[in-house]
Every structure is written in C-alpha cells, then in structure tokens.
Amino acid sequence: MNCEEYWNDRTRPAADFDAHLEACPSCAARAAAVRPVVAGLRLLAAGMKDVSAPARVEARLVRAYRERYSRRVPPQSEVHRWWAAAAAVLLAAGALWTTARAPRPTLVATNAPLATAGGAEQEDSAFIPLPNAAGSPQDDDVDLVRVELPRSAVTALGIPASDYGDAETVEAEVLVGPDGMARAVRLLN
Amino acid sequence: MKPPESDHQLFERLRAGREQAFVALYQKRQPALYRFALQMSGSASVAEDITQEVFLALLRDECGYDPSRGTLIAYLFGIARKLLLRQYERRRSDVPVDTGAEEPGFAEPVDASDLLADLTDRERIEALRRAVGSLPRRYREVVVLCDLEEVDYADAASVLGCPIGTVRSRLHRARLMLAEKLRDERHGGASVPAWKAARCAI
C-alpha cells in the first residue's frame, strides 16, 4: 500500500493500513495529527445534536403543504345535505327495525305539518310517522331526503311487500328534523 | 413492531398528499440540514430560510428528486448547498474567499499531542468551531457533512458533485488544516492535555 492508497482507499483490510503506518513515518505523523481533530469534531457534533430549526419553520411548511395539496371543500349546504342523507338512512333503518319488534303501529295517511314539509306531499302516498318522532315539534324546518329501503324494511312498516313486485329495494323519502332524527317516511313507487 | 418508513417511502406518500408523511420526513431530516446550513453560513436566519426552501422544493411539481440518481438525503443536502452557494454569491464579502484551488499539502505535520492543551472542554469545542468556520468553503462543507453530520462518503460525493476519492482527500486535507489552525491558536494562547485520541475514521 502506498501513501495515496492509505489516505484514499478505505476498501482494504485494516491490517494493511496498520502495516503502512508502521512503514511510513510521514503518514504516521499525519495520522497522529488528525486523530485529536477527529475526536474533537465528534465532541463538537455531539454538542450540536439538539440544534434544529425553530418550530415556526415547520408551521410555515405545513401551511404551504396544505395549500399545495388541499382538495376542494364542498359548499356547506352540500355537506349538510349528505350528512342528513346518511343520518336519515341510518335512523330510518333503526326506526324500522324497532318497529318490527314493537306492536305494529297504525298507519296514518296524514295531512299533518310533517307531510307538507319540503312541498313533497303526495295524495296517494302519505308520510308514515316513525315511532321515535312522537313528541317532536311539528313545525320544524325539516329536510327531505330520498333513500332506498330494503324490502324487509318495507314489510316492517306494515306494507305488504307484494305491493312492490320483485324489487329488492324500494325508493322512499325520509323527513329529517334539524336534530338529525328521522321523523317520517314515505314510500315511492 | 413496524419498521420506520424509509425516506423514499415518506417522499412517495407526501407526494400523494399525506401530510403526516411530509411532517415525518421534515422532523427526521431537518436538524441535519439546518445545522449544515448554520455551520456553512454562520447565520441562524439564513439556516432557517434554507431549511424551509429545501422542503418547499419537495412540494413543487418539478421537484427533481430521482431515486435512481441518489438518496433523498443527498438530494436535500444538494439543494441546501446550492442555496448556500447563492447566498455566498450575494454576500461574498462575509465569507472566506474560496479560490477553487486545492490547498497545498502540509509539509510539516503538526504535533497534535497537545493541540488543545490547557483549554476546558467548552473552550476546546469553541476553538474547533471557530477553526471549522474559518476553513475555505470546500473544506468546511466536507467536514460538516462527513464529520459533523455523518453523511457517508457516497452521499457526500453526490452532494458535492465529485468522486468519492476527492471527498476523502479533501476531508483529510481539511482535518490537517484544522490541526494547523488549532496549533496556531494554541501558540497564541495556552497548552495542556489533548483531546483523548480517537482512531482516525477517514
């Protein structure tokens, strides 16, 4: 191993380096000169290991990231409508499940305020109040949400499934109050 | 236990819009980049700006990171270095002049046995910090990268745009220059027990 290899070739076995140092006073002197420097640099590095950028840099970068990658947020009314629809489906299903296990309610073809909400009143298919709607204010500002109910849920409402042919699901409209509770359901054709 | 994600995995996820991946990569890599910029510029505000710019570069459509050409950390240090070079050009008078030429060799190896003698640990570190800060840029950056931030030689070569052999020889020269500077400082000051000698990791 020559001097150039000693300093620039780290791929060789350690024994080669030791042998070169023993044979070359010049490299031995250089190596001795840098050893304390390397040790000092390690101390310097250890003393700086906790140094890092201030927190405001991360805050600015996260803001920039959100601006770069943010998706379009739907208008508030749209969000509200979808939440209402999801809530209505769940609540209607829950209510129908409850109804199936309770004494069958009397179906009411009603002209009550609920039925007129949203201007969705139809003479041949009135809203059927759900059991959990009892006691709810009648003049609420309700949302009308269209859903698909499974055939079994229709049967639970006391309506013969045969009225709807072979369809697996039946289209319905659900009135959802401002509290998110389903008030009434109306089956569509 | 799930192994930590690699830089490349974090990069892929952050580019897919995962903010958590961006934050994780930032927290993992910013300290070394900030310290590199701080050691090279001597200015906390410059280091802060450069750290921010480096990570902003990852968000750009034309982000030039190519995993087939090197590691992400080398890419990030490379951006930091380019930004620092622009700073030097703007504030050339504030930093040591870099002639671009290799420094001459050291005909007389210094006697390192008591380079930092008579100094407290704190004084030793300060003396060495000053010595590092006074190195010409091309030597300072290799010392900061390889000795202080423990970037491996292959990545350092990628950052500096030179062969690995050049990194090694430059690092060796830089260490000899530091030894020389410390000797000069000692001659203007005191003398005592040296650094506890450690095996030279060249």
Q: What is the pLDDT of residue B45?
A: 95
Class of domain B112-187: mainly alpha
Give the residue extent of every domain in chain A: 3-51, 76-187
Q: What is the pLDDT of residue A15?
A: 81
Contacts of B27 in chain A (CB under 8 A): 58
Q: What is the pLDDT of residue B198?
A: 41
Q: What is the pLDDT of residue B112?
A: 47
Q: Do A37 and B112 touch (CB under 8 A)?
A: yes
Burial track B86-110 (b if 16+ CB lie within 10 A, e otherwise):
ebbeeeeeebeebeeeebeeeeebb
Q: What is the pLDDT of residue B145?
A: 97
| CA-based radius of gyration for chain B | 19
Size of interface A-B (CB pairs under 8 A): 147
Contact indicator for B43, B87 with CB cutoff of 8 Å: no
Contact indicator for A9, A2 with CB cutoff of 8 Å: no
User: Is the model's pLDDT at A121 over the cut of 50?
Assistant: no
Q: How high does pLDDT run on average in chain A?
A: 72
Closest chain A residue to B132 measured between Cα atoms? A41
Q: What is the distance in angstroms between the Cα of B129 and the nearest Cα belonging to chain A? A: 7
User: Is the model's pLDDT at B7 over the cut of 90?
Assistant: yes
Q: How far apart are CA B194 and CA B167, in angstroms?
A: 27
Q: What is the distance in angstroms between the Cα of A74 and the nearest Cα belonging to chain B? A: 18
| End-to-end Cα spacing for chain B | 35
pLDDT digits (tens, 9 = 90+) for B95-147: 554 444 444 444 444 454 555 555 567 787 888 999 999 999 999 999 999 99
The CATH code for residues B7-94 is: 1.10.1740.10
User: Shortest CA distance to B139 belongs to which of B171, B97, B109, B95?
Assistant: B171
User: Is the model's pLDDT at B188 over the cut of 50?
Assistant: yes
Q: What percentage of chain A exceeds 70 in pLDDT?
A: 61
Q: Is A36 on the interface with B (CB under 8 A)?
A: yes
Q: Do B23 and A68 touch (CB under 8 A)?
A: no
Q: What is the distance in angstroms between the Cα of B93 and the nearest Cα belonging to chain A? A: 26
Q: What percentage of chain B exceeds 70 in pLDDT?
A: 77
Contacts of A71 in chain B (CB under 8 A): 17
User: Is the model's pLDDT at B11 over the cut of 80?
Assistant: yes
User: Is the model's pLDDT at A55 over the cut of 50?
Assistant: yes
Give the tokens for residue B48.
């802060």
- What is the pLDDT averaged over residues A21-26? 87
Tell me the pTM.
0.60
- Where is pLDDT greater, at A49 or A86? A49
Q: Do domains B7-94 and B112-187 have the same CATH topology?
A: no
Q: What is the pLDDT of residue A120?
A: 39
Contact indicator for B114, B186 with CB cutoff of 8 Å: yes
- Where is pLDDT greater, at A185 or B132? B132
User: Is the model's pLDDT at A39 over the cut of 50?
Assistant: yes
Q: How high does pLDDT run on average in chain B?
A: 82
Give the residue extent of every domain in chain B: 7-94, 112-187
- Where is pLDDT greater, at A137 or B96? A137
| Paired sense of beta strands A169-176 and A143-150, if any | antiparallel
Residue A65 contacts by C-beta under 8 Å, 6 or more apart in sequence?
B14, B19, B22, B59
Query: What are phi and psi for residue B57, nearest 5 degrees?
Result: -60, -30
Give the tokens for residue B47.
């280091």
User: Is the model's pLDDT at A64 over the cut of 90?
Assistant: yes
Burial track A62-96 (b if 16+ CB lie within 10 A, e otherwise):
eeebeeeeeeeeeeeeeeeeeebbebbbebbbebb
- Where is pLDDT greater, at A101 or B25? B25
Residue A154 pLDDT level (bands cut at 50, 70, 90): confident
Given phi > 0 = left and psi -120 to 50 = alpha, else beta, which region is B105? Answer: beta
ipTM (interface predicted TM): 0.79
Q: Is A170 helix (H, G, I), strand (E, B) or coil?
A: strand
Q: What is the pLDDT of residue A182?
A: 79
Q: What is the pLDDT of residue A54?
A: 94
Q: Do A33 and B196 touch (CB under 8 A)?
A: no
Q: Is A129 helix (H, G, I), strand (E, B) or coil?
A: strand
Contacts of B26 in chain A (CB under 8 A): 58, 61
Q: Is A10 helix (H, G, I), strand (E, B) or coil?
A: coil
Of A135-139, B83-87, B152-156, the poorest mean pLDDT is in: A135-139
Q: Do A57 and B30 touch (CB under 8 A)?
A: yes
Given phi > 0 = left and psi -120 to 50 = alpha, else beta, which region is A63? Answer: alpha
Of A112-121, B16-25, B167-176, the poorest mean pLDDT is in: A112-121
- Where is pLDDT greater, at A123 or A2? A2
Q: How far apart are CA B57 and CA B49, in angstroms?
A: 12
- Where is pLDDT greater, at A127 or A76? A127
Q: How far apart are CA A8 and CA A29, in angstroms?
A: 17
User: Is the model's pLDDT at A152 over the cut of 50?
Assistant: yes
User: Is the CA virtual torsion A16, A20, A21, A22 positive or negative?
Assistant: positive
Distances (CA, A) of A137 to A67, A116, A131, B30, B86: 44, 14, 14, 58, 70
